[in-house]
Structure 1
């Protein structure tokens, strides 16, 4: 197996994990409300997200963890809370890689 095919397999595995994370209606709802930058003005913590999508905080935390582990979102302690936002570079890479697979 060549190094190029190993790299491709790793990229495909990562993309598959990201697509699985994105393939859930609740997680897509979460992505719709998350900001794209970590500012206090539009900060989204677990409580805010849970309230807006109508889920419990533990269920919301579970979905956020999946999105974070897939590299789609990021988080940071800021504004007295742990806040979450979409990682635009990661999202763009998912789009690009999916386009390559489908072309």
Structure 2
């Protein structure tokens, strides 16, 4: 699995985000991430409408499942989530927003 070397620790999310984007240079991987994040949001809306906790349990399965498929089969690298869980989650949402707002290619 190829990957850009990550420093020992990043000092800020702003410093981490370029690394995060580099780890998502494969277009199919990015697309799977965006779709997975959208489904996570839909599951949360499903929870709000039904108050069924199964929707909450589905959120990480769908979100991480989609992301990991993108990384292991298309990007061929190890997801940053394993080393930077919070910043990776923040990166997912930022990349999702940038994609939907046209700032990043889908």
Q: TM-score range by the shorter chain?
A: 0.3 to 0.5
Using CA pairs below 8 Å that are at least 6 residues apart, which structure has the higher relative contact order?
2
Relative to total residues, which structure has the larger helix share, 1 or 2?
2
Q: Which structure's residues are more often strand, by fraction?
A: 1
**Bigger radius of gyration among the two:** 1
TM-score by length of 2: 0.34
TM-score norm. by structure 1 comes to: 0.34
